[in-house]
Amino acid sequence: MAHRVTLIPGDGIGPEVSAAVVRIIEAAGVAIEWDEHHAGVTAVEQTGSTLPQSLLDSVIANRVALKGPVTTPVGEGFTSVNVGLRKTLDLYANLRPVTNLPGVPSRYQDVDMVIVRENTEDLYSGMENEIVPGVVAGLKIITATASERIARFAFRHATENGRRKVTAIHKANIMKQADGLFLRSARTVAREFPDITYDEKIVDNACMQLVMRPEQYDVLLLPNLYGDIVSDLAAGLVGGLGVVPGANLGEQAAVFEAVHGSAPDIAGQDKANPTALLLSGLMLLRHIGERTAADVIFGALTRVMAAGTTITRDLGGSASTTQFTDAVVREIHAHRG
């Protein structure tokens, strides 16, 4: 029986990289019925809403979605579709594995960490208010319920995936109540997992340590804002946002997405690198039990990367999106016999 998965192509380069990933997954023999829906600018043009109810209903029914990049206006316009999806579907855990890929230039090798970011509160609650002209206040919301939930997710992920250490990142030396609550919650959960080493780092020191000795980190546990910043910093250690995957996970649904932008400047030019969305697609495949196919695709991807002859411009090559996709598909067919 075919899996039914919601597909949100996104805008900008989103439709191109989404089409490439769908083609690669199909080449690996996975039977998926893609239920396509639009969000953001494209959805506004079609339905008048950035996050149509039909899209939400599809994700709720299918319980899993693959999402391409969606443009978020800066400083004006509609609110983030990504944040809206996370809040509406209670996708409380943002999971970002960060590892090196062969052939991808980076400052470090043997990086292997996982960023676990709380996804529903903190300053991203969007509770902002102009007190008087020229003075704006934003509320940082931290709750024990959400903090313990994301900490338990991090420790369970570590346990189930052979990880050895969870590091909570905070600024409790300054924000003693908000970040202090986050830390107390993490410590409470840590006692339930005695086989996992637990430690803590202040966020500014953690960032310095990341760019000096990233190998010391395993699983990083962060509240929302720090997690957003640190996850992009960590991606820079292995080649950038174009080569790292992302997932937003909840009890009832999971949305796997590219974490880079929509790159409208190259949209429609067959130049985009689909690797980030493809890696997110592999996380999706493992989530729905298609681990063998995920391993086959990952092997094909790493062989194409290592060869270096058919890689996209952002990685120093000259291949188009189509040529890169063709190369991965050929590798899949060659090793599937």
Active site residue 87: no
- From the candidates 11, 179, 228, 314, which is the catalytic residue? 228
Question: What is the signed CA dihedral for 143, 145, 151, 157, rounded to 10 degrees?
Answer: -140
- Which run of H or of E encompasses 61? helix 53-62
| Residues 121 and 224 sit within 8 Å (Cβ to Cβ) | yes
241: left (phi over 0), alpha (psi -120 to 50) or beta: alpha
| Residues 141 and 122 sit within 8 Å (Cβ to Cβ) | yes
Active site residue 35: no
Interatomic CA distance for residues 303 and 62, integer angstroms: 32
Interatomic CA distance for residues 73 and 41, integer angstroms: 10
| Residues 244 and 279 sit within 8 Å (Cβ to Cβ) | yes
- From the candidates 87, 171, 201, 271, which is the catalytic residue? 171
Interatomic CA distance for residues 96 and 273, integer angstroms: 18
- From the candidates 92, 124, 217, 226, which is the catalytic residue? 124
Q: Which residue has the tokens 């050929």?
A: 330
| Residues 8 and 68 sit within 8 Å (Cβ to Cβ) | yes
User: How many Cβ atoms are within 10 Å of 268's Cβ, its own excluded?
Assistant: 11
Active site residue 204: yes
One-letter amino acid of 314: D
DSSP state of 79: P
Active site residue 218: no
- φ, ψ (nearest 5 deg) of residue 260: -90, 175
The closest of 260, 337, 252 to 96, measured between CA atoms, is: 260
- From the candidates 57, 176, 199, 204, which is the catalytic residue? 204
The closest of 262, 233, 266 to 115, measured between CA atoms, is: 233
The beta-strand segments (E) located in 233-304 are 245-249, 254-258
Interatomic CA distance for residues 51 and 60, integer angstroms: 13
Indicate which residues carry an active-site annotation: 124, 171, 204, 228
